[in-house]
Amino acid sequence: MAKNKQLTEEDDELLAELGIEVEVKKAVKYTPREERIIAGFEEIQQFVAEHKRLPQHGETKDIFERLYAVRLDQIRKLKECRELVKDLDHQNLLDHSMDIKDEEIEDLDDDALLAELGVDEREETSITNLRHVKTRAEKRAAEEIANREICEDFEQFKPLFEAVKRDIDNGLRSTVRFRKEAGFTKTDYKLNQFIIISGQMGYIAEMGEPLKAPNGEEDRRLRLIYANGTESNILLRSLIRAMYKDETSRFITENDNGPLFSGETSADDQQSGTIYVLRSKSDLPAIHEKRDVVHKIGVTGGEVEKRIVNAKNDPTFLMADVEIVATYKLANINRVKLEGVLHKFLTPARLDIEILDRFGKPVKAREWFLVPLFIIDQIVELIKEGSLSKYYYDPETAELKKG
């Protein structure tokens, strides 16, 4: 401690020699109420730093954000509060206060602010214990989600859910996480939209006429069908609130496969690669006995001939030469995605074979399938039509079947 004091005195002497006056700042003492106001303002500053925007009002907003919004309004409105935090306001949060009138100072207790927000109190309503507090609006949304009835005509919707599940499994659709910062709005919800809410796949089967919500905003009544055979008659705004609160909620994308490629490419098309079908010249019994129906199916961005030039030294080609039996040109397509779709679709016909590489290490060759060439032709046609998701391959009968 003595050393630190000596250093301080020496520093002061040096500054004095330089003609710089040393100002000794007195420690400022705040009342408990002032300390609470400052702490509350610092929480608002932290929110702005993290989210790059001011906190906002609104039933769809997080309860903490709504609390900060009300708190900032109060601080802007009251002269004493503005004076108290103005030196801390490095983000200029007070600049937006217009037509401010000096009013009697109100107590900025968090409990009072929560009551103003319409939050039901539980055993504890401290700002540090808000994790399990729900607004009335959020409770209404949860009740609407939970209030489901048996869907009497579910049989007409069941095939839709099955088709979407197949699309997801085959890579033709994906799920997009619902996140507040993503900026989703009511326009992201439309007729025939598939979503995931509360762990269940849902389908917007009907959308009612626009109606006015109590706050004046537009709303709609939805008929939401669930994959478990139930349905709910829910308001759009309630669905949005429920998805905001459910961290697992997601949108399901459209089947964007479309006509992936055609027999002819135009001058405007950007060639993306080739589907190739190969037949092995291996003498392995498992291959030799069924050579006509054992095919390797893949997608390449280069020339197929160059892809197979070293086949006899490559365990993925069964350490043997191969012959090209079919190719299909691609245009404007994601090669990796398409190859994944093909391999997933043919999973029931995948050949289970392990082979030793040049160093004697066992390798699983996973791109070989027991499937006739005419079936591969049919699969390609279905991809071109955008209807592959309506079919599956039955290896027992060697047929493509609807289902």
What is the Cα–Cα distance from 169 to 388, expressed in whole angstroms? Answer: 12
Q: Is residue 101 part of a domain?
A: yes
Burial environment of residue 197 by CB neighbours within 10 A (0 to 12, 13 to 18, 19 or more): buried
Residues 118, 135 contacting (CB under 8 angstroms): yes
In CATH, what number is assigned to the domain containing residue 219? 2.30.30.30
Q: Is residue 50 part of a domain?
A: yes
Q: Which tokens hold the place of 25?
A: 């700042």
Distant-in-sequence, close-in-space partners of 233: CB < 8 Å, separation ≥ 6: 221, 222, 223, 224
> Do residue 181 and residue 210 come from a single domain?
yes
What is the Cα–Cα distance from 47 to 45, expressed in whole angstroms? Answer: 5
pLDDT digits (tens, 9 = 90+) for 260-312: 444 445 444 455 778 899 999 998 888 888 888 899 998 888 888 988 988 88
Provide the number of structural domains found in the chain.
3
Q: Is residue 120 part of a domain?
A: yes
Distant-in-sequence, close-in-space partners of 45: CB < 8 Å, separation ≥ 6: 88, 90, 91, 93
Confidence of residue 99 (pLDDT cuts 50, 70, 90): very low
Confidence of residue 386 (pLDDT cuts 50, 70, 90): confident
> Do residue 327 and residue 345 come from a single domain?
yes
pLDDT digits (tens, 9 = 90+) for 138-168: 555 555 555 688 999 999 899 889 888 887 7
Q: Is residue 86 part of a domain?
A: yes
What is the Cα–Cα distance from 163 to 159, expressed in whole angstroms? Answer: 6
Q: Which tokens hold the place of 401?
A: 């079947």
> Do residue 123 and residue 239 come from a single domain?
no
> Do residue 124 and residue 146 come from a single domain?
no
> Do residue 113 and residue 167 come from a single domain?
no
Average pLDDT over residues 228-234: 89
> Do residue 123 and residue 143 come from a single domain?
no
Q: Which tokens hold the place of 340?
A: 């994944």
> Do residue 283 and residue 390 come from a single domain?
yes
Higher per-residue confidence, 25 vs 90: 90
Confidence of residue 8 (pLDDT cuts 50, 70, 90): low
Burial environment of residue 378 by CB neighbours within 10 A (0 to 12, 13 to 18, 19 or more): middle
Of 68, 103, 129, the last residue of a domain is 129
Higher per-residue confidence, 289 vs 225: 225
Q: How far is CA 34 from CA 40, 109, 307, in A?
A: 10, 11, 74
> Do residue 243 and residue 366 come from a single domain?
no
Q: If we measure between CA atoms, which residue out of 355, 354, 345 comes closest to residue 395?
A: 345
pLDDT digits (tens, 9 = 90+) for 101-125: 433 334 445 555 555 444 444 434 4
> Do residue 82 and residue 167 come from a single domain?
no
Q: Is residue 3 part of a domain?
A: no
> Do residue 240 and residue 143 come from a single domain?
yes
Q: Is residue 165 part of a domain?
A: yes
pTM of the model: 0.40
Range of the domain at 357: 271-402
Q: Is residue 96 part of a domain?
A: yes
Residue type for 221, please?
Answer: R
> Do residue 292 and residue 391 come from a single domain?
yes
> Do residue 229 and residue 284 come from a single domain?
no
Q: Is residue 55 part of a domain?
A: yes
Of 129, 162, 179, the last residue of a domain is 129
